[in-house]
Amino acid sequence: MAAKGNKQNSKNTFNLELFFDMSPDLLCIAGYDGYFKRINPTVSKVLEYTNEELLAKPIHEFIYHEDKHLTAGHRENLLNDVPLLNFENRYVTKSGGIVWLHWTSMPIESEKVVFAIARNVTHKKRIEDDRNLLLTNLTELNNDLKQLAYMTSHDLRAPVSNLISVFSLLDVSKIEDQETLEFIEMMRTTTDSLKVTLNNFVDNLIEKNNLGVTVAEISFNECLTSALQPLQSLVKNSRAVLRVDFSAAEKVEFNKGYLESIFLNLISNSIKYSKPDSFPNISICTKRVNGRTRLIFSDGGMGFDMEKAKGKIFGFNQKFHEHTDSKGIGLYLVYNHVTSLGGQIAVESRINEGAKFTISFNG
């Protein structure tokens, strides 16, 4: 019976040795004196030293110099019988490379040794460094774009104010031609509207910079009216026909500046990309579906190929038609206005059959 028991113990020992030697993680036993007592082949493979070299020197000599002080503090805790969990530090390989190791270490006070397992997380750290660098670059770019937006909107207000002053000095009582009077009034109204738009834009930038966008119950009709003011001449000259029905939902919880921008960009796009042989025909209405308010905007314009435009429709600087005034920014702005406040936007379109945008508001 004793012989059988010894044979079984020998088999268990063999299995443990095999587990120790084949583990892809770094397994080691370290003494309280600061030296490795036993290591598995993975330790030598990762650090590029032989077993003899690793066992001959104190462990701290293999640690990256910037991490030695921190590691020493945690080692003191181990010597006081406190386990070490989820600790990361850097080691220097024989060729001079840096590897990051993630440690779990358990002290055995009675044996004056520490059983430790480490995982090589160098690749993960490099990915994190790349991500952090990308985030830093994106933050700098975002700040530069924000500064450009402030500067542009602020500087544009000066010439707009000058135009308003010109209109205030203009004596229209001496002008008898009714068509000229209408034209001047249209220009004055458009200029006033442009000033309001620029002021609202600056206010929205300030709100965003303060990490908040004002959301309130707003009227669809009032926002549409405001958006149409700077578009008066465009609508009139194009002979666009707008059919509007907000009876299903007259108001919505949203940002006023965002909704006006949505109307402005969708309407101007519909006029810009109307079919050459017909006047722009635009339909704007609201619906209530499953407790959510929807804004449905459709036109009978040129439309576009959904297969070719898939995944690009709301992208920055994406153009689907040749037009001298096309910048590829309008739909990008519309999408970001909607989604930044938790809404959704879907589009249906066919070439020469117009486009339909369905915006579902959050709440």
Asked whether residue 220 falls in the same domain as residue 318, the answer is yes
Considering the domain boundaries, does residue 134 fall inside one? Answer: no
Instruction: List CB contacts of 242: < 8 A, sequence separation 6 or more.
Output: 235, 267, 282, 283, 284
Closest Cα to residue 215, out of 344, 340, 358?
340
Predicted local confidence at residue 355, as pLDDT: 93
Asked whether residue 111 falls in the same domain as residue 235, the answer is no
Query: For residue 87, what is the domain's CATH number?
Result: 3.30.450.20
Predicted local confidence at residue 206, as pLDDT: 56
Asked whether residue 232 falls in the same domain as residue 191, the answer is no
Query: For residue 309, what is the domain's CATH number?
Result: 3.30.565.10
Predicted local confidence at residue 321, as pLDDT: 56
Asked whether residue 163 falls in the same domain as residue 109, the answer is no
Considering the domain boundaries, does residue 12 fall inside one? Answer: yes
Asked whether residue 187 falls in the same domain as residue 278, the answer is no
Asked whether residue 207 falls in the same domain as residue 228, the answer is no
Considering the domain boundaries, does residue 133 fall inside one? Answer: no
Asked whether residue 263 falls in the same domain as residue 312, the answer is yes
Asked whether residue 75 falls in the same domain as residue 11, the answer is yes
Q: Which DSSP state fits 320? A: S
Predicted local confidence at residue 262, as pLDDT: 93
Rounded Cα distance, 284 and 267, in Å: 10
Single pTM value for the model = 0.50
Predicted local confidence at residue 83, as pLDDT: 94
- Contact by Cβ (8 Å): 186, 167: no
Considering the domain boundaries, does residue 136 fall inside one? Answer: no
State pLDDT tens for residues 323-341: 445 456 778 888 888 988 8
Predicted local confidence at residue 54, as pLDDT: 96
Considering the domain boundaries, does residue 131 fall inside one? Answer: no
Six-digit token string for 226: 């405001």
Asked whether residue 24 falls in the same domain as residue 156, the answer is no
Considering the domain boundaries, does residue 138 fall inside one? Answer: no
What range does the domain containing 180 cover? 143-212
List of the chain residues with pLDDT < 50: 1-2, 4-5, 7-8, 10, 210-211, 323-324, 326
Asked whether residue 329 falls in the same domain as residue 295, the answer is yes
Asked whether residue 50 falls in the same domain as residue 195, the answer is no
- Contact by Cβ (8 Å): 262, 284: no
Predicted local confidence at residue 324, as pLDDT: 46
Predicted local confidence at residue 172, as pLDDT: 75
Considering the domain boundaries, does residue 34 fall inside one? Answer: yes
Asked whether residue 150 falls in the same domain as residue 246, the answer is no
